[in-house]
Chain A
Amino acid sequence: EPEVTQTPSHQVTQMGQEVILRCVPISNHLYFYWYRQILGQKVEFLVSFYNNEISEKSEIFDDQFSVERPDGSNFTLKIRSTKLEDSAMYFCASSEAWGNYGYTFGSGTRLTVV
């Protein structure tokens, strides 16, 4: 079964540092997403990405966040200057078509900001 792969599984970074979370979506998928889950809370939508541009972003996705598809396979989330409150599990997802068809989540990257 095809998978969405996220690396690393756990990252620890110092406050103020930049961090890049990496995702490899399923190869024939066209729509890409990032979600965040602060420990013990619900999963929240951050951003969707299609055709090399952001389709939609939430109010959480402020100027310190950016996304990129630098090549044909990777999809990255960059946090420019991390804060303690950015500590969370970050999930990447991809889907084959509009309307959630084949929507698949990766196993997540746990980001700890110290």
Chain B
Amino acid sequence: AQKVTQAQTEISVVEKEDVTLDCVYETRDTTYYLFWYKQPPSGELVFLIRRNSFDEQNEISGRYSWNFQKSTSSFNFTITASQVVDSAVYFCALSHQDDKIIFGKGTRLHILP
């Protein structure tokens, strides 16, 4: 089975706090890709990161960081020093070599001023 689980439906934090969005995936394949997308209130899907299954290095991009752990099938996303503009729905997603992307249900993040 191929599945992405984002257990946190909704999170609220106060601005400047750090927040971690959890993502757990299921797959039988050894080659796969993991993604995070941001969906602001305007509705478009904003690509954040793509990681292949052979690259377990953690990644940092400004205030964003990602922790990929194959041992626990997790690909968590942390926002450091959150800002109101980070308020959005965040989707974790999985793809195999057949190219279609399987999305999780998303986590709605509210950053309170």
Contacts and interface: CB of A to CB of B under 8 A. Distances in A.
Contact of B101 (A45, A106, A108): A45
A107 B44 contact: yes
Contacts of A82: none
B99 A95 contact: yes
Contacts of A108: 43-45
Residue among A42, A45, A58, A108 with most chain B CB within 10 A? A42
B45 A44 contact: no
On chain A, which size bracket covers the interface? Answer: 20 to 34
B109 to A, nearest CB: 15
Contact of A98 (B37, B97, B105, B106): B97
A35 B95 CA distance: 14
Interface in B37-79: 37, 43-45, 47, 50
Given A56-B98, A98-B97, A100-B50, A44 B103 contact: yes
Contacts, number: 54
Given A103-B50, A104-B47, A108-B45, A98 B99 contact: yes
A113 interface: no
A75 interface: no
A95 B33 CA distance: 14
Contact of A42 (B44, B47, B103): B103
Interface in A1-46: 31, 33, 35, 41-45
B88 interface: no
Given A89-B43, A108-B44, A110-B43, A103 B101 contact: yes
Interface in A35-66: 35, 41-45, 48, 55-56, 58
Interface in A88-107: 89, 91, 95, 98-100, 103-107
20 contacts: A35-B101, A42-B103, A43-B93, A43-B101, A48-B99, A56-B98, A56-B99, A58-B100, A89-B43, A91-B45, A99-B97, A100-B33, A100-B50, A100-B95, A100-B101, A103-B50, A105-B44, A105-B45, A106-B44, A108-B43
Interface of B: 33, 37, 43-45, 47, 50, 91, 93, 95, 97-106
